[in-house]
Chains A and B, each alone.
Chain A
Amino acid sequence: MNVAELTKKRQPLWTELENLCEELSKRSSKLSPENVNRFSALYRAACADLALAESYHLPPSTVDYLHRLVAKAHNQLYRSQSFRWNQWYQRIFVDTPKIVFNDPCIHLVIILFWGLFLISAFLAFDSYVWPSFAAQVVGQEQLDIMESMYTGFDSGRGSGTDWRMAGFYVNHNASIGLSCFVTMLFVLPGLVTLSYNAVSLGTVFGYMFRAELGDASSNFQNFVTAHGPFELTAIILAAGAGLKIGLSWVKTNGLTRTDSLLRTARESLPIIMCSVVLFCLAAILEGFLSPASSKYLPWFFKGLAASFSSFLLMFYFIVLGFPDQNYDLESERDRWTRAV
């Protein structure tokens, strides 16, 4: 038998395999058991044809066709494993808190963020050590804007606005968090942005807490208390997860740069997802609870919400995350960060 006859004989089988591939790739269709059998038999046959075609004189155009046919069938045979929900409990409630608790990058971001935040908050609050600090850092104009923003604020607002603002905060803040995560890939610009935000946030906080501002100060406290814990933690997690990825291609621990990047990226994904969830929770509080006027809802309740959310965070990251004798972090990491 010559090549022309062989190709002619095989062509119907190849076409059939291609048609089955088309059918499989349609979203809703399911093949009958006979067809599944047929598919695998045809796939094996095409593989064999390809293996032999390379060695015997099949013309290049036919070999090329076979490559693409096998590739197409391969993609249908080994399909994506969508979302495996049953693994999520383990990842969310066991692995992630432990990784966050033990991660040096997140420790670094916590120290950097809170350190700069507290120092600048103190300098801006205290009118004795460096009286013009706040004005020098964020500018007098900005401070005046903040002050006037919170002066006529206490009237409360219609609850329709709450819904609208909650939606706005989910979109706006979580997007900022994700951008922060993504841009941390280039370490230095990310760190500069983080430090800048820590300093300016700290300064505004310190300044707005000054007693001489009176009404504006109490309104400000009234507004920021409830959603603070969730939002600030979410920022830190996003930046920490980003920093992990950014440093992974600088310090590779013996892997090649690409491998190190791939591994770390898989590992930091749960952290960034955690941060997205916290941003959403913060947005809900920020939309509904924070703007409530102190006339209707005393500050006490907002403080209660803040304490409760801090308690939840501590439980999650410290109680669930505390190193455990029976839990081998390294091997768990290996298990779910290895390439497929």
Chain B
Amino acid sequence: MLDNVMEVTTPENIAFQYRLVGPFSRLLAYVYDVLISLLFYVALCFVIYMAGLFIFLPMIIWLGFQSFVPFLSGVFWGLAQIGYFFIHWFYGVYFEARNNGQTPGKRMFGMRVISTDGHSIDAVQATLRNFFRLLDTMPMVTPSLYIAVANPIEWMMLPTFAFGLIVMTISPRFQRIGDLIAGTVVVDETKLRKPNLAVVQEDQVQRLAEKIPGDFVVSSTLGKVIAEYVDQRRYLAHQRASEIAGHLAIPLIDQLGLPPKTDYDLLICAIYYRTYFAREEENPDSKNDHETGAIWMPQGKSIRVSSTDASIPTGIQAPKLSDSNFQMAPAKGVESP
């Protein structure tokens, strides 16, 4: 999760992140594409063959030109080879240019090719990145290196993809040689998982939340760390959970003047509950509901903003208090995202 994202700023002035896809997921999509293109080739051969067998062959025999039969087989092989050339070199080019950066394999495995600047690719980029795949498959080896046979199959070369793998590992955004030359990256586009706010509704939590002083404001980093912790805590045993929570809770207990025997895990949950769930007095302005397209402005005090975030206009500033800048480095064991 550390650097497999790429940040892009849109014309709407929003910075968002794309998730990049690594070499091995892409290999799956590639193998799928190879199978599909083989299928295309077989289908093409089948169509030409059937057309020859059931349309042209009877015609020739009916017209009495028996000597043209070998000619027909020549045409079949010629067309099949030309078809192979175009499928081999232009399969990816066609689909990526036509289909907004997705070959069937990429669509199947939820990926898309985009430009490094976040826009979709054009036909030139699609062509370049697919032509240069040849370099990524190198070095080629013959099976005779491995199989000691009397007559090694000279013409059959197996791609090792070693160059591609090495270049992808070195380049910062998992780009293979073709990607570097065309200026593209492959991003993840799998189905999204709905975000679920972890719910903590136990009475104890609510009771503890009420004991937290009203002037305590959670800074945005602290809020993030706490949310991350509560998300993960259901996978932890209670002892381990309070061990982790302790890093954060011990100084907090001190600061908030709570009884020293307060359960660490419970305290963090209480702060979480207070930050994300507690209903505070309703501001009459917040009744006007959000239409789509309207920019949502936080109303009043319901979501507190620490004073460092003042650059973004808010309705009413959170009251400035002596400790409203409560900041804290993420505790050990609770990794900040």
Q: Which of B251-277 contact A (CB under 8 A)?
A: 275-277
Question: Which residue on A lies nearest to B121, using beta carbons?
Answer: A80
Q: Which residues of A contact B72 (CB under 8 A)?
A: 160
Chain B binding surface, main DSSP class: mixed
Asked if B192 and A18 make an inter-chain contact with CB atoms under 8 angstroms apart, the answer reads yes
Question: Which residue on B lies nearest to A72, using beta carbons?
Answer: B189
Binds A, one of B32-40, B96-104, B320-328: B96-104
Binds B, one of A93-101, A114-122, A138-146, A261-269: A261-269
Q: Which of A13, A161, A167, A272 contacts B81 (CB 8 A)?
A: A167
Q: Which of B100, B276, B299, B309 contacts A59 (CB 8 A)?
A: B276
CA distance A168 to B81 in the complex (A): 6
The minimal Cβ–Cβ distance linking A226 to chain B, given in whole angstroms, is 18
Question: Which residue on A lies nearest to B118, using beta carbons?
Answer: A74
Tell yes or no: B114 within 8 A of A by CB.
yes
CB-CB under 8 A for A174 and B131, given A2-B277, A44-B293, A81-B122? no
Chain A binding surface, main DSSP class: helix
Asked if A27 and B99 make an inter-chain contact with CB atoms under 8 angstroms apart, the answer reads yes
The minimal Cβ–Cβ distance linking A184 to chain B, given in whole angstroms, is 10
Asked if B305 and A56 make an inter-chain contact with CB atoms under 8 angstroms apart, the answer reads yes
CA distance A79 to B114 in the complex (A): 10
Asked if A170 and B81 make an inter-chain contact with CB atoms under 8 angstroms apart, the answer reads yes
Tell yes or no: A64 within 8 A of B by CB.
yes
Q: Which of A28-78 contact B (CB under 8 A)?
A: 38, 41-42, 44-45, 47-52, 55-57, 59-62, 64-72, 74-76, 78
Q: Which of A42, A178, A287 contacts B89 (CB 8 A)?
A: A178
Tell yes or no: B218 within 8 A of A by CB.
yes
Interface size of B by CB at 8 A reads 98
Question: Which residue on B lies nearest to A279, using beta carbons?
Answer: B85
Tell yes or no: B223 within 8 A of A by CB.
yes
Asked if B278 and A2 make an inter-chain contact with CB atoms under 8 angstroms apart, the answer reads yes
Q: Which residues of A contact B196 (CB under 8 A)?
A: 61
Asked if A56 and B303 make an inter-chain contact with CB atoms under 8 angstroms apart, the answer reads yes
Q: Which of B59-82 contact A (CB under 8 A)?
A: 68, 70-75, 77-82
Question: What 0/1 readout, one digit per residue, does chain A (1-45) give for beta carbons within 8 Å of chain B?
Answer: 111111101110101001000000101000000000010011011
CA distance A82 to B188 in the complex (A): 21
Tell yes or no: A258 within 8 A of B by CB.
yes
CA distance A280 to B81 in the complex (A): 12
Chain B residues within CB distance 8 Å of chain A: 5, 8, 10, 12-14, 16-19, 68, 70-75, 77-82, 84-85, 88-89, 96-102, 107, 112, 114-115, 117-128, 131-132, 134-135, 177, 180-183, 187-189, 192-197, 218, 220, 223-224, 227-228, 231, 275-280, 286, 289-290, 292-296, 298-299, 302-305, 309, 312, 337
A-B contact list, 12 entries, CB within 8 Å: A1-B286, A1-B302, A44-B12, A66-B16, A70-B14, A72-B189, A75-B114, A163-B71, A165-B78, A185-B135, A265-B128, A269-B128
**Apart from A74-B16, A80-B101, what 7 extra A-B contacts exist at CB < 8 Å?**
A57-B220, A60-B224, A71-B187, A163-B71, A168-B78, A174-B85, A266-B128
8 closest A-B pairs by beta carbon, nearest first, are A160-B74, A167-B78, A167-B81, A59-B227, A160-B71, A163-B78, A57-B223, A41-B293
